[in-house]
Amino acid sequence: MTAADLKNLLERIQAWPEEAQDELVAVANQIESELQGNEYLASRKELQIIDAAMASIDGGDFATDAEVKAAFAKFRSG
């Protein structure tokens, strides 16, 4: 990819919906952080999702062994 390709892409991005632009910025920041050898820091939204998942598990809401096996079988066969 050339500098001109990047410039053209950045111009097109300005027409994207704000949510898509935010997602691109988050991904680009993550890539840059990894390239610099920095540790990954979860976003506020990611932390909220993790907290909700942990609360669900603490409440006893988790997949049975049979459900886990079925999910793995589904993904392996596809």
Q: Both tokens of residue 35?
A: 């390239």
Digit-coded pLDDT (tens) for 28-63:
988 888 888 877 778 899 999 999 999 999 998 888
Quick count: other Cβ atoms within 10 Å of Cβ 26? 13
Rounded Cα gap, residues 40 and 56, in angstroms: 24
Find out whether 61 and 53 touch, Cβ atoms under 8 Å: no
What pLDDT does 52 receive? 94
Q: Percent of the chain, pLDDT > 90? A: 56
Find out whether 52 and 69 touch, Cβ atoms under 8 Å: no
Sequence-distant (≥ 6) Cβ neighbours of residue 33 within 8 angstroms: 39, 40, 41
> Average pLDDT in the 8-15 region?
94
> Average pLDDT in the 3-12 region?
93
Rounded Cα gap, residues 52 and 2, in angstroms: 42
